[in-house]
Structure 1
Amino acid sequence: MIASPREKVGMGHGDNGQGGRDNGFLLHSSHWGVFSARWDGEKLSVQPYAGDPDPNQIIENFPEALRHSARIKRPCIRRGWLENGPGPDLRRGTDDYVEVSWKEAIRLAGNELLRIRTDFGPAAMFGGSYGWSSAGRFHHAQSQVHRFLNLAMGGYIRSVNSYSAGASSVIIPHIIGNFENHTKRNVSWAQIETETDIVVAFGGMALKNSMVSGGGISEHVERGAMERAHKRGCRFILIGPIQDDLPAEAGAEWVPVIPGTDTALMLGLIHTLVSTGLHDQPFLARYTTGWDRFEAYVMGRVDGLPKDAAWASGITGVAAKTIIELANALHGRRSLITVAHALQRAEHGEQPVWMGAALAAALGQMGLPGGGYAYALGAIGYYGRRNNAVPMPTFPQERNPIQEFIPVARIADMLLNPGSSYRYNGETRSYPRVRAMYWAGGNPFHHHQDLARLRKAFGQVDTLIVNEMAWTGTARHADIVLPCTMTLEREDIGGSSNDPLLVPMRRVAPPLGEARDDYDIFSELAGHLGAREAFTEGRTTRQWLEHLYERTRGALVSLDQPAPDFEEFWQGDGLRLPQEPDDGGQLRAFRADPSSHPLPTPSGRIEIFSETIESFGERDCPGHPVWLPPQEAPKADAPLYLVANQPATRLHSQLDFGGHSARSKRQGREVARMHPADAAERSIADGDIVRLFNQRGACLASVRLDERLRKGVVQIPTGAWFDPLDLNAESVLCVHGNPNVLTRDVGTSALAQGCSGQLTIIEIERFDGILPDIRAYDPPVGRPAR
């Protein structure tokens, strides 16, 4: 059977009708859960891992997706590039494609890569890969493409940070220390279950987010932990515009704040604590630096404006009485402040992250079991868990000699403004001149903002090469499209550094058409560029799996733990790994002895005021956390907030054509939720097709009326594949419901330059025209796009 999470460390044995080969089901893994699958040549069946207490239904996308018509079967070349050669071309996204043989595709792609390397050098190549390609440790597209570019091209322009945590991953090292340590080794779900008295979740902790984990996940524990904590008496307070951003099991009290105003609410809480003497002054004196300067701002001694509960109420829409009561409830209890990724995916996104740390410090709880500050807890599946005690198999990317990089969310700026300067983390940098891009394992026409602008940016390069399994928006803008396998069509090892199960991911079905593994594609291209031996090291895929597994096996041997050889592991049903103790990590050690265990910040303390950030001189991110009003706020022609958050039925845009994702839509469109009162003002009924629009573009969606939203707020998930009615129109209309035709492509601040796509402003109206067909999944082969 598949190893139960309650078994001792070692191999699983027996047969529970799921993991063994006798019933045809083969063990596999994905970012949303370990599962087993069976392919009979016509139909794919899937079933969740038996040891998972709360399986994720996203695995139900696989059956329809495996052989869907949106899959790419053969190498394809964009007609305009094939006929005219490389060069800037705004026809990308509207052109059709010509199928060619693999031999011809490798020749064309290899020759173009040679031209870029020879004529312009590796600094003219951008390596675009955002990860999330597969739970596999070997067939991780980001590792594959980066290794290829390092060894065959001599390097590449890279990106840093992520769309999910672009602001927080820059600000947190300045104020607390290592980002990974703070998110992965701090407050755990086990601690909350037994220790915490009150959780204040700014932005919530939606299960749709924690159901997903990089590298795979075998046990979804969040729902059960919150339910048991609530039954024990722990209070959950949800601060946010959407009531179901905490599960019903948490029994949460909802404070429906105006979107983007959480920082002001935190200031009102801190002011209340200070004005009543409830802040933990001994903790602040021993463990923080700069509190006096920050307190002067909070109390209004700097600008004559006290940031009290009444002031905060006017900004946030939350009653002053509620703010005061919440501050009093937090004092003297094991309190935990959490701040969701969502809050920092907006203009001035650094501020709620920093302010959350300041609030937690004022309460004096940081470093205590189940208390303090747990940034992004619930934002992803591997936060709030124990670390594995042994290293995971990892495909080496090798060294990139090119030092230039861009913040990941600034790709359109780079392509549209080569040579121009920008600020990032205290430095003035320049955008490089990129001639070509190689993309694998990502879809920027999902996760980037202002897609009309992104399309113009992609039109500036000479060549875009894409490894892709399906006709995503990015594939439709590529010049050379190389079909790669889906995870079920290849072998791999699945596992996360914060999940105890290492999974032999067996191939369930043969590749579709002529699709190849990324490794085989890059091996061929490396050969064309004279680097095959360097890239492959003479190993096949199976030999690489054995080689990578040996690192983990050797560590198990050194710990005197069960360490089966590769063949035994491969034939088994998952290997349980030992885990480190739930010891609170860096912050717990710092609280116990700040002299012996200082934080990796300039002062060695929690930096409420940062001299480093102050020295950068950024007006949109000064030396301590502040309230900065957004530049874009509701107005007459765009009176509603749009929350463009993560979907529940897919990971980002992955497998949007799968059955589970498709069944969540209405009339083939993404579903937008709005408050019944807002709908009534616009004569909109539940189930209507509506047009969401602003000055940047528009999209069509089906509307669902829902009182679990604050009035004035519309919510639509990201990830519906980009399906523009007319790319050449002055204002792009996505008929499928992709909200990133509406969102702004601006950085969070000059400090981090992160993604600000969570919030924007829109108007919405009933759509009474002829409803366009959905063509997002139609292969653009042999005929133009729409």
Structure 2
Amino acid sequence: MIHNLLHEATLGRRELLSTLTTSLIAAGIPKSVLAQSITNAMNNLETMTWCACTVNCSARCPLRVYSRNGKIIRIEPENTGADSCSMPNAVPHIRPCARGRSYKQRFYAPERLKYPMKRVGKRGEGKFERISWEEAIDTVCSALKHTIQTYGNEAIYINANTGTYQMVSGRNCQRRLMNILGGTLGAHGTYSLAMIRKAYPYTFGIDGWGSMMSEAANAKLYVAFGNNPYVLRTSGGSHSWELECVRTNAKPKVILIDPIYTDTALGKEDLWVPIRIGTDAALCEAIAHELIVNNWVDQAFLDKHCVGYDEKTLPPSAPKGSDYKSYILGLGADGVEKTPERAAKITGVPVATIRLLAKEMHEAKPCFISQGWGPQRQSNGEQTSRAIAMMPILLGQIGLPGTNHGGREGDSNMKEQWLPTGKNPVKVKIPMFMWTDAVDHGEQMTALHDGIEGADKLKVGIKFLWNQHSNAVAGTHSDHWKTAKILQDESKCEFVLVVDNVMSATAKFADILLPDVMAPELDDICADGYSTGSSNFLIAMQKAVEPQWEQKSSWEICRLIAKGMGVEDKYTEGRTYQEWIRWCYEKTREKHPEVFPSFEEFWKKGIVKVPGLKANDTVILKKFREDPEKNPLKTPSGKIEIYSERLDKIGKTWELEKEGLITPLPQYIEPDEGPNSPLAHKYPLQCYGFHSHGHANSAYGNVDWLHELHPDQLWINPVDAQARNIKDGDLVQVFNDRGICELTARVSERIFPGVCGFPQGGWFKPDSRGIDVGPSFNTLTTLKPSPLAKGNPQHTNLVQVRLATRS
């Protein structure tokens, strides 16, 4: 009976143990009997600690980790919020999706890295031998010293790292260390949104983050180009939750424009407009034509707030007839009228649907128009993002309640304090997508040809490559076979360091491989991500279990390297790791003293939610709309620049490939690999990689439970499948000159004819035939960047599909 009482008291209620023990002693229970009972109970003690899913879906969902005897036994969602969208001022219950709920399987996956290792085979072969931490750190320090002394800090590059988002022991550690050591070659742009981030400032003076998703509740019509939050951002406290609340409460019309019928539709949309990949700009031009010829544009807004719509607002340097209206009506230099009939041939969208879209956008006021990041991830992505922005511009649906500037929905930024990195002494930056160019021929890269910033050209290529929680080499990056070939030449990149917690495809390219802990194995803090809308929160990540083998945290790994490089004092600033956690919390608390409790209370509670920190700032460009003279934009004119003199100059001075065009007006540019490309005779299908419920980019890509629930399959339209004798569930190969992927087919009318696709983020796993059976979508993608941002054109691919032979 005593044992049962103690066991019940200690199941998740450790604080009751002391009180109960005292009471039992007072009742006369022999201490020897009590001691054995306590021992037995403690062996079965179940504890709950707070944690978070810190991968890059951008939601950062809280998790409750239950453990017993040093082992995680289950993961549960947080339980401190409300579930109903209909409740006034509801604080959402931030439910994790299937990915976060399967964290235990990821934590105990056979791919977990256990010990420091050094490469013994060729780069990419994945052959390693175990070494001590002392040897590993000495080797890394020796390579760093050699690189700095021989080539300078510009030869060191930290790859894009989005695998973990703790605030202290995360992605900032190595940047802090390297800035102390003299810096590294920098990067601009991202894999996800380089084109819209580069293009939007030329139009609006700001980037592509727009009005809050909640603002769509004030709209009569919500129009989304390639925007699918219900798959990528499925958290109970993210854009998907807010959009569901908008639909539930306000019930605006919903139009989704996308090559596939996404889960964001869910049968609740009013209209799905399937479209050929890379042709959104052509559709927008045709809609613009309808708005102009029917006199549905907001002329007063265009005259007062914009530059270049018609001739009277063109800048003096612009040639006659180079305004947007003339371009659309065929009165400009190209002489082509951008009619719905023309667009229908390009996009596959019927003429009647194009006219209906224009009519719906005109009649529905307010009209909230947005775009995801898929449409801009094309070879013509900068033009696509600007062309979509023309829809709210022409309608004057900007800066008013229920409107947006055409970008992705925004978020209320808590501006939490992460581990500070300091300033990078190296001012030179390359486009993030072009790091393989910087390895292969860095000395030849220039500002005018390759988008180098901070210098006219690079002095040296990348000699030391640091991948920390980054699957960029053989995951995020394009053309895996070409990338592997570049890295396998050790005369170019001389040293590759990988710090991660799993043996990813990228980890196999390491010279030194260091094992990091996972989130339940350390204390830290996690903040809400960049797709949580108005759901601001902080999570106290509390160590649930000890590291299973010889893993060390990112903080500790960088501290050891700092010690080996003689800068430990500068790295730690005299603070312990735990003191840095408190410091980051207190600095965050200083910005919001009215809502954040003491550190002790925060740590005990585990999560603090502070929704709506920017509740009065939900409409983008509101002040500019109200008074453009007092609140000018950060463009040369202070207005929305439909015609950009800066882009006109860039287009005339940069050294561009023949397919690449940078124009002062937003205009449709045919994708490099589209239906009219000569390559289409050999590879007639367009292929793109969409996000999946089964993994967030490549994180969770090794969890069998998720593969069973959400298998990576090739979506293909019945028309294209029948022409290739492919049936649903068949094993198929999708291929082009860059590689071959093998997976099963999903034959469905939910994807546009002439288009196929499968989830991006799979792990690159070439078999003995050289066929990627992971598969990773980026086996098929090109390393040729977009013209302006020099960004990642991941969705611009021509392929062929065939039945595979099962061995």
For Structure 1 versus Structure 2, the TM-score category normalised by the shorter chain is: 0.7 to 0.9
Q: Which residue number corresponds to residue 386 of structure 2?
A: 354
Cα separation, 2, equivalents of 1:709 and 1:295: 34
Question: Would you say the 8 A contact 2:98–2:706 is kept in 1?
Answer: no
Cα separation, 1, equivalents of 2:426 and 2:48: 45
Cα separation, 2, equivalents of 1:636 and 1:654: 36
Cα separation, 2, equivalents of 1:220 and 1:207: 9
Q: Which residue number corresponds to residue 178 of structure 1?
A: 206
Q: Report the secondary structure of 1:621's partner residue.
A: coil
Q: Report the secondary structure of 1:342's partner residue.
A: coil
Which of 508, 514, 517 is the matching residue for 2:544? Answer: 508
Question: Would you say the 8 A contact 1:386–1:582 is kept in 2?
Answer: no
Deviation at 1:664, TM superposition (A): 3.6
Question: Would you say the 8 A contact 1:675–1:709 is kept in 2?
Answer: yes
Cα separation, 2, equivalents of 1:424 and 1:593: 39
Which of 491, 494, 497 is the matching residue for 2:526? Answer: 494
Q: Which residue number corresponds to residue 752 of structure 1?
A: 789
Question: Would you say the 8 A contact 1:29–1:135 is kept in 2?
Answer: no
Residue 630 (str. 1) matches residue 681 (str. 2): no
Cα separation, 1, equivalents of 2:14 and 2:113: 31
Residue 648 (str. 1) matches residue 648 (str. 2): no
Measured against aligned partners, the alpha-carbon deviations of 1:470-502 in whole angstroms (never above 9, x if no partner) come to 111111001000111111111111113764221
Q: Which residue number corresponds to residue 148 of structure 2?
A: 117
- Identity %, equivalent residues: 26
Q: Report the secondary structure of 1:39's partner residue.
A: strand
Equivalent residue letter for 1:630: P
Cα separation, 1, equivalents of 2:466 and 2:155: 11
Question: Would you say the 8 A contact 2:225–2:371 is kept in 1?
Answer: yes
Q: Which residue number corresponds to residue 291 of structure 2?
A: 273
- Superposition pairs for residues 362-373 of structure 1, below 5 Å? 362-373=394-405
Q: Report the secondary structure of 1:430's partner residue.
A: coil
1:76–1:54 distance in 2 versus 1, CA, 3 Å: closer
Which of 707, 718, 722 is the matching residue for 1:662? Answer: 707
Q: Report the secondary structure of 1:318's partner residue.
A: coil
Question: Would you say the 8 A contact 1:436–1:464 is kept in 2?
Answer: yes
Deviates more, 1:225-234 or 1:399-408: 225-234
Which of 572, 589, 598 is the matching residue for 2:605? Answer: 572
Residue 285 (str. 1) matches residue 306 (str. 2): no
- Superposition pairs for residues 472-483 of structure 1, below 5 Å? 472-483=504-515
- Superposition pairs for residues 215-294 of structure 1, below 5 Å? 219-220=237-238, 222-223=240-241, 225-226=243-244, 228-229=246-247, 232-244=250-262, 246-248=264-266, 250-292=268-310, 293-294=323-324
Q: Which residue number corresponds to residue 49 of structure 2?
A: 26
Which of 431, 439, 453 is the matching residue for 2:482? Answer: 453
Q: Which runs of 5+ in 1 are unaligned?
A: 1-16, 81-90, 213-217, 378-382, 771-786
Deviates more, 1:298-307 or 1:131-140: 131-140
- Superposition pairs for residues 188-587 of structure 1, below 5 Å? 188-193=212-217, 195-211=218-234, 219-220=237-238, 222-223=240-241, 225-226=243-244, 228-229=246-247, 232-244=250-262, 246-248=264-266, 250-292=268-310, 293-302=323-332, 303-332=334-363, 333-377=365-409, 383=410, 385-388=411-414, 391-422=415-446, 423=449, 429-431=456-458, 432-444=460-472, 445-459=474-488, 460-496=492-528, 499-557=535-593, 561-577=594-610, 579-584=613-618, 587=621
Q: Which residue number corresponds to residue 83 of structure 1?
A: none
Deviates more, 1:63-72 or 1:614-623: 614-623
Question: Would you say the 8 A contact 1:29–1:505 is kept in 2?
Answer: yes
1:167–1:205 distance in 2 versus 1, CA, 3 Å: same
Q: Which residue number corresponds to residue 7 of structure 1?
A: none
- Superposition pairs for residues 88-127 of structure 1, below 5 Å? 91-94=122-125, 96-127=127-158
Q: Which residue number corresponds to residue 87 of structure 1?
A: none
Equivalent residue letter for 1:30: C
Deviates more, 1:581-590 or 1:296-305: 581-590
Deviation at 1:43, TM superposition (A): 4.5
Measured against aligned partners, the alpha-carbon deviations of 1:401-457 in whole angstroms (never above 9, x if no partner) come to 111111111111111122113435697843442211111121111111111111122
Measured against aligned partners, the alpha-carbon deviations of 1:170-221 in whole angstroms (never above 9, x if no partner) come to 1111111222xx51xx42222212x111122111333122237xxxxx7235
1:35–1:695 distance in 2 versus 1, CA, 3 Å: same
- Superposition pairs for residues 26-105 of structure 1, below 5 Å? 26-31=49-54, 32=59, 33-40=61-68, 41-50=70-79, 51=81, 52=93, 55-80=96-121, 91-94=122-125, 96-105=127-136
Question: Would you say the 8 A contact 1:170–1:425 is kept in 2?
Answer: no
Cα separation, 1, equivalents of 2:195 and 2:596: 40
1:374–1:48 distance in 2 versus 1, CA, 3 Å: farther
- Superposition pairs for residues 767-782 of structure 1, below 5 Å? 767-770=804-807
Question: Would you say the 8 A contact 1:20–1:573 is kept in 2?
Answer: no
Question: Would you say the 8 A contact 1:230–1:250 is kept in 2?
Answer: no
Q: Report the secondary structure of 1:337's partner residue.
A: strand
Cα separation, 1, equivalents of 2:601 and 2:250: 43
Question: Would you say the 8 A contact 1:697–1:733 is kept in 2?
Answer: yes
Deviation at 1:76, TM superposition (A): 0.4
Deviation at 1:707, TM superposition (A): 1.4
Deviation at 1:358, TM superposition (A): 1.5
Deviation at 1:563, TM superposition (A): 4.3
Cα separation, 1, equivalents of 2:139 and 2:384: 48
Larger radius of gyration: 2
1:534–1:155 distance in 2 versus 1, CA, 3 Å: same
Question: Would you say the 8 A contact 1:63–1:658 is kept in 2?
Answer: no
Question: Would you say the 8 A contact 1:170–1:752 is kept in 2?
Answer: yes
1:568–1:508 distance in 2 versus 1, CA, 3 Å: same
Deviates more, 1:439-448 or 1:656-665: 656-665
Q: Report the secondary structure of 2:722's partner residue.
A: helix
Measured against aligned partners, the alpha-carbon deviations of 1:671-696 in whole angstroms (never above 9, x if no partner) come to 21111222222121221111111111
Cα separation, 1, equivalents of 2:744 and 2:776: 12
Question: Would you say the 8 A contact 1:127–1:149 is kept in 2?
Answer: no
Deviation at 1:374, TM superposition (A): 3.8
Cα separation, 2, equivalents of 1:426 and 1:608: 26
Q: Paired residues, what number?
A: 713
Q: Which residue number corresponds to residue 150 of structure 1?
A: 179
RMSD value, Cα: 2.3
Equivalent residue letter for 2:590: G
Equivalent residue letter for 2:136: A
Question: Would you say the 8 A contact 1:54–1:223 is kept in 2?
Answer: no
Deviation at 1:508, TM superposition (A): 1.6
Deviation at 1:132, TM superposition (A): 2.4
Deviation at 1:396, TM superposition (A): 0.6
Cα separation, 2, equivalents of 1:296 and 1:366: 23
TM-score after normalising by structure 1: 0.87
Residue 136 (str. 1) matches residue 182 (str. 2): no
Q: Which residue number corresponds to residue 739 of structure 1?
A: 777
Q: Report the secondary structure of 1:343's partner residue.
A: coil
Q: Report the secondary structure of 2:741's partner residue.
A: strand
Q: Which residue number corresponds to residue 613 of structure 1?
A: 647
Measured against aligned partners, the alpha-carbon deviations of 1:539-594 in whole angstroms (never above 9, x if no partner) come to 2211100111111222333xxx1543222211113223361223345500100111
Q: Report the secondary structure of 1:617's partner residue.
A: helix
Deviation at 1:224, TM superposition (A): 5.5
Q: Report the secondary structure of 2:797's partner residue.
A: strand
Cα separation, 2, equivalents of 1:241 and 1:704: 15
1:590–1:664 distance in 2 versus 1, CA, 3 Å: same
Deviation at 1:246, TM superposition (A): 2.4
Cα separation, 2, equivalents of 1:630 and 1:699: 23
Question: Would you say the 8 A contact 1:125–1:436 is kept in 2?
Answer: yes
Deviation at 1:744, TM superposition (A): 1.1
Q: Relative contact order: is structure 1 or structure 2 higher (C-alpha 8 Å, sep ≥ 6)?
A: 1
